[in-house]
Amino acid sequence: MIEELHIKDLGVIADSTLPLGPGFTAITGETGAGKTMVVSALGLLMGERSDAGGVRVGATQARVSGIVHSSDPAVAEIVDELGGDLEDGELIMSRTVSAEGRSRAAVGGVSAPVGALGRLSERLFAVHGQSEQLRLKSQTAQRDTLDRFGGEALAAVLRQYREVHTARAEAEQRFITLTETRDSRAAEVVRLRTELEEISAVDPVAGEETELAARIELLGNVEGLRAAAVGAAEALASESDDPMQRDAGGLVDFAVQDLDRVADLDPRIAGVAEQLRSVSFQIADAAKELAAYASDLDEEGPGELARASERLAALTGLFRYYGATSEDVLAHADQASAQLLALDGDDEALGGLEARVAELRDDELQLAAQLTALRQAAAEQLGVAVSAELRELALPDARFVATVAPLDALSGSGADDIQFLLAPHPGATPRPIAKSASGGELSRVMLALEVVLAGADPVPTFVFDEVDAGVGGAAAIEIGRRLRQLSKTSQVIVVTHLAQVAAFATNHLRVVKDSSGGFTQSSCVALEGDARLAEMARLLSGLDTSESALDHAAELLELGK
């Protein structure tokens, strides 16, 4: 229930607070005074799309806020999720719309996405206007209404059905896709296996192409390397028989011999001689190592060069197709292996999917049959209940019928084609309300449905925008009476231009237009006593001081008690 609504700078309303509260609130006012702005304000509070054109001329922004009372655990859960406060069931909701079109919302004292208002409004409000009457003509809206009347038992089966329907559709599409792509997947398997065989035949090692390139560079210069090694070895330790040939090792040995002859005379000389003996050993070792290196080049160089070149050529062949480096090739192999495993799994999954689709189809058909049975039972009860309500709404001979016919195929909502029909008088064939019902009849059908639905699926707050359009006289009185009855279980807020409807309100508000300041602005005042009587007279005759109108107004107010 919304206890209070504050509107600032929306349309022609400058700044007004509407005391609403429980029961039946009627909102009246002259044409153009801004009655529909109240509905627009409630719409903003419910998360409906904003329009910068609704901001009052000269204002920077429009603001709507409301104090709402709710004991619904789902509402408390949403508010808690948003981080807001819900104290003793009281919730403050607000919405601002700037003149530039920016929109902001707040729930329980904290900023919130505008969509959060919509989530809350689903639990708090139901708005009915002429657009809702038009929507009622759609078969989707009619099906939703029947399902709502069916209660939790029907809703539970519908939820199960939708889950199974979605699962079956997804599994079936997967099966069709796998079946249609069987040939292409077989070709893909052959390609992947061929690639893996080619890579496996070479068996690359990460980074080996760099090492091979360096080795090939070295082996390509083997003659220069061998000549250098032989020359250096000869210079260090010559194997020549020429007595004049002097190598480094021999020269060092001569130096050691010279120093050894005088080493006893000076310890420093002995130290130098020891150093030279160490150098002699190092020279000898280096000469042997160079000789062995040259020998290895002579024996292994050409063969190793050929093998390294062949190996690099094999790797380069892989690089042309599978990546620029050995690491890329190995990564490609891993990816191909994973793809191959998945494709092999797809083939194995086909049989399981076919069985799964069949199983889900059986479940779907069973649930659809249950749904149809529940809808047929609900349709019969709804027809009886709405027809009874229409008799109370000055359609004494009208008969409302809800039909449940089979669809050609299963849909996301079952296997049923649901239509609302109306036979306005005895002997008439029931026809779809979308084609046969007048505006006044459609208004009363919608109200009758809401009165009936309130018993099965109550909504905390109903907002009706000129639900009495197209009716008058006795029919309008009955609409007022039924709205009063609906207000016993829910808060009812009605924008009306009929005194016959307003007479049954427990709270009467008037939107007042003031153009005295050179521009029009409106506010809202609560009416009681003579003020309400005068407004009722104005609604009846256009004159708020006419004695006959005042008498008629008083009579209506007495009727509405």
Q: Render pLDDT for 312-354 as a digit per residue (tens, 0 to 9).
A: 888 888 998 998 999 999 999 999 998 888 777 666 667 778 8
In 3D space, the residue among 334, 330, 336, 229 whose CA is nearest the CA of residue 286 turns out to be: 229
Mean predicted confidence (pLDDT) in 402-416: 93
Q: How far is CA 552 from the centre of its chain?
A: 56
The amino acid sitting at 499 is: A
Half-sphere exposure of 385 (CA within 13 A, CB side): 20
Angle between helices 326-392 and 473-486 (to 10 degrees): 120
Say what the pLDDT of residue 298 is.
62
- Residue 250 contacts by C-beta under 8 Å, 6 or more apart in sequence? 237, 238
Q: Which domains does the chain have, with CATH numbers?
A: 1-125+466-525 (3.40.50.300), 208-324 (no CATH), 528-561 (no CATH)
Check whether 413 has a pLDDT greater than 80: yes
Q: Write the secondary structure of 234-300 as one string of H (helix), E (strand) and C (coil).
A: HHHCCCCCCCCCCCHHHHHHHHHHHHHHHCCCCHHHHHHHHHHHHHHHHHHHHHHHHHHHHHHHHHH
Rounded to 5 degrees, what angle do the CA atoms 157, 158, 164 make?
90
Cα–Cα distance, 516 to 522 (Å, whole number): 11
Confidence check: pLDDT of 131 > 70: no
Rounded average pLDDT over 523-537: 89
**Closest by Cα among 365, 433, 450 to 398:** 433
Average pLDDT over residues 507-524: 74
Please state the rounded mean pLDDT for residues 274-298: 83
Given a cut of 70, whether residue 248 has pLDDT beyond it is: yes
Nearest to 364 by CA among 166, 547, 225: 166
Q: What average pLDDT does range 454-465 have in this prediction?
A: 80
Q: Which residues contact 532 (CB under 8 A, 6 or more apart)?
A: 508, 557
SS3 state at 372: helix
Of 53-62, 221-230, 242-251, 362-371, which has the strongest mean pLDDT? 362-371
What is the band of 244 on the pLDDT scale with cuts at 50, 70, 90? low
Q: What pLDDT is attached to residue 346?
A: 63
φ and ψ at 112, to 5 degrees?
-145, 155
Residues of the chain with pLDDT > 70: what percent? 92
Question: pLDDT tens for residues 7-51?
Answer: 998 888 888 888 898 999 999 888 776 777 888 888 888 888 888
pLDDT for 416 equals: 95
Residue 97 forms beta bridges with which residues? 62, 103
pLDDT in tens, 174-218: 888 777 777 777 788 788 888 899 999 999 999 888 888 887 777
Whole-number mean pLDDT of the chain? 84
Look up the pTM and report it. Answer: 0.62
Cα 27 to Cα 129: distance, rounded to the nearest angstrom? 14
Q: In whole angstroms, what is the distance from residue 275 CA to residue 260 CA?
A: 12
| DSSP one-letter code for 415 | E
Closest CA relative to residue 523, chosen from 98, 18, 141, 120: 18
CB 514 within 8 A of CB 7: no
Q: Is 130:469 a contact under the CB 8 Å cutoff?
A: yes
Walk across the sheet containing 110-112 and list its strands.
Answer: 110-112, 103-107, 90-98, 61-69, 2-10, 13-19, 521-527, 507-514, 24-29, 491-495, 461-465, 125-128
Residue 226: both structure tokens together = 């061998």
**Which pLDDT score is estimated for 160?**
96
Question: What residues are paired with 93 via a beta bridge?
Answer: 66, 107
